[in-house]
Amino acid sequence: MDQSKKGPRRTGATRRIYMSLREQIESGVYGTGDKLPSSRSLAEEHGVSRTTVTAAFDQLISEGYVEVRQGAKPIVATTASPSRLHPSASTANGARRLSNYAMRAMRLPSHSTAGRKPLKFDFRYGDIAAADFPKQVWKHALTSAFMIHRDRLGYDNPAGSPILRQALQGYLWRARGIRCNPSQIVIVNGSQQALDLCARTLVNPGDSVVIEEPCYAMARNVMLAVGASPVPVACDHDGMDTAGLPDLGQVALAYVTPSHQFPLGGVLSVGRRHRLIEWAKAGNIYVIEDDYDGEYRYDVSPIPPLYLSGQDQVIYVGTVSKTLSPTLRLGYMVLPAPLIDPFIHCKQLADRHSSTYEQEALASLIEAGAYERHVRKMRRSSAARRSIFLRTMTDAFEKEIEIVGTSAGLHVVVWFNRLRAEDEERIAGLAGSNDIGIYPISRLFGTPTDPRAGFIFGYASMDVKSIAEGVSRLAGIIRPLVG
């Protein structure tokens, strides 16, 4: 049988990656000379080691689809144009007719974990423990929401349920000191939809968007997909270093995580807050404040949102993904007045509105005080998880590591002083083959600057026993590498 039709005889993952790249080249998603994703980002996307990805590339190279030059990213070979390989491919499957948006989106690594083999000790950031979800309370609230609407099922307000917006107004005042009018609040399907709406509403292809370096990949990717050029501004323990803000010129928008920089954990200092707002005012630019885990603070008092430093400039974004569940897809935005109508129009075009039952269930939890009680409970259980993680890591690695971003949130970054950044993927692969999920920090940098290997550890989805056991097993793998 012709090997080019059969693909590699390696592992299932190698074959999957090989097939996916080959299909994208054949259908023209990647054209001749286009850069392909690096083996590092493909390893992340598919949850496999770099060796697995390299095997897929080797096969594509041997079949003439891909070329690699020393030290550069792999590119689509000149011999691999769709019309040469499959004369009918470009018209038969319609892929050539994809929009520029879709083509750009297809080139970005997917962050879906669907279908991935679960790991026994997974320090994946973003998941939270199912055991913490208030099942009975939520079930009751959902049933009540259904009963309210049982006589009429129709489309609702694109801005969101008035009951929830009213309830959130009170919650935001009590929890975050934000005073706003319910008319400024738009309910969205998680923060991700808020970021997507910001990109659609405020950014044109070719515009620059200021982002943090390192940055939340899903924020950077939303901007790339609309054709914007991200302008990364370096972050340290005080958050984004505003001395590095670019000249205003083509800048359309800025994205920050001021209360707990993702992923490094810094808190944007007061001076930098003022500088950022002044800069944004001078250019008439909006700043997205992604307050994704503002509920979780441990040894420090709550950090006021950036919103309080510049209400006319800041688009405040919150979510229940870290307090209730990311599966609910419920988030909210607080908008400056001129943006309310444009955002409601765009939200309606995107999906009419977010699910009414879930919105009203959340509203009733907030109104009854059950949401804030739950948040307090979550804060206590996260504090217990965090403390066992920090203690067991420090005991296991002592002076070999530096842990940053510990005062807030549901994750930390651990730098390994004697491991090299270029070995992160190999180490993550090794851990993965021992049923432990750890996630290289370099994936979140445009250009990594720290020569040490670093990993982002989420601890919110594991119980304390598994955290301790996971750390001890990880130590068994990493200790021999540091000598």
Ligand X SMILES: Cc1ncc(COP(=O)(O)O)c(C=O)c1O
Binding site for ligand X (CB under 6 A): 126, 190-192, 216, 257, 262, 290, 292, 319, 321, 326, 331
Contact 403, 263 (CB under 8 A): no
Provide φ and ψ at 306, rounded to 5°.
-60, -30
State the minimum distance, in angstroms, from the CB of residue 36 to ligand X: 27
Instruction: State which residue, 25 or 444, has the beta carbon closest to ligand X.
Output: 444
Between 364 and 461, name the residue whose CB sits nearer to ligand X. Answer: 461
Select 57 or 332, whichever has its Cβ closest to ligand X: 332
Nearer of residues 187 and 467 to ligand X, judged by Cβ: 187
Characterise 161 by phi-psi region: left (phi > 0), alpha (psi -120 to 50), beta (else).
beta
Q: Of 162 and 326, which CB lies nearer to ligand X in the complex structure? A: 326
- Nearest CB to ligand X, comparing residues 294 and 432: 294
- Angstrom CA distances, 275 to 173, 259, 268, 271, 312, stand at 25, 16, 11, 6, 15
Query: What residues have CB less than 8 Å from 54, skipping those under 6 apart?
Result: 39
d(CA 3, CA 240): 51
φ, ψ (nearest 5 deg) of residue 314: -105, 135
**Residues 361 and 208: beta-carbon distance below 8 Å:** no
Contacts of 423 (CB under 8 A, 6+ apart): 453, 481
Backbone φ and ψ for 313, nearest 5 degrees, come out as: -105, -20
Tell me the closest approach of the beta carbon of residue 136 to ligand X, in angstroms: 23
Rank residues 158 and 458 by Cβ distance to ligand X and give the closer one: 458
Q: How far is the CB of 6 from ligand X (least distance, A)?
A: 39
CA–CA distance from 99 to each of 38, 63, 102, 198 (Å)? 23, 29, 5, 20
**C-beta of 193: minimal distance to ligand X in Å?**
7
Compute the least distance from the CB of residue 215 to ligand X, in Å: 9
Residue (of 246, 317, 326) closest to 282 by Cα position: 246
Q: Give the nearest residue (CB) to ligand X.
A: 190
β-sheet bridge partners, residue 403? 414
Closest of 377, 339, 297, 330 to residue 134, by C-alpha: 377
Report in angstroms how near the CB of residue 154 gets to ligand X at its nearest.
27
HSE-CB of 374 using CA atoms within 13 angstroms: 21
Q: Are 306 and 289 in contact (CB under 8 A)?
A: yes
Distance of closest approach, residue 161 Cβ to ligand X, in angstroms: 18
Closest contact distance (angstroms) between CB of 450 and ligand X is 20
- In the complex, least distance from residue 126 CB atom to ligand X, rounded to whole angstroms: 4
Token pair 């908008």: residue? 335
- Mark 54-76 as b/e (b = at least 16 C-beta within 10 Å): ebbbbbbeebebbbeeeeeebbb
Q: Among residues 396 and 410, whose Cβ is nearest to ligand X?
A: 410
Q: Residue length, the chain?
A: 483
Give the residue with the Cβ less far from ligand X, 161 or 261.
261
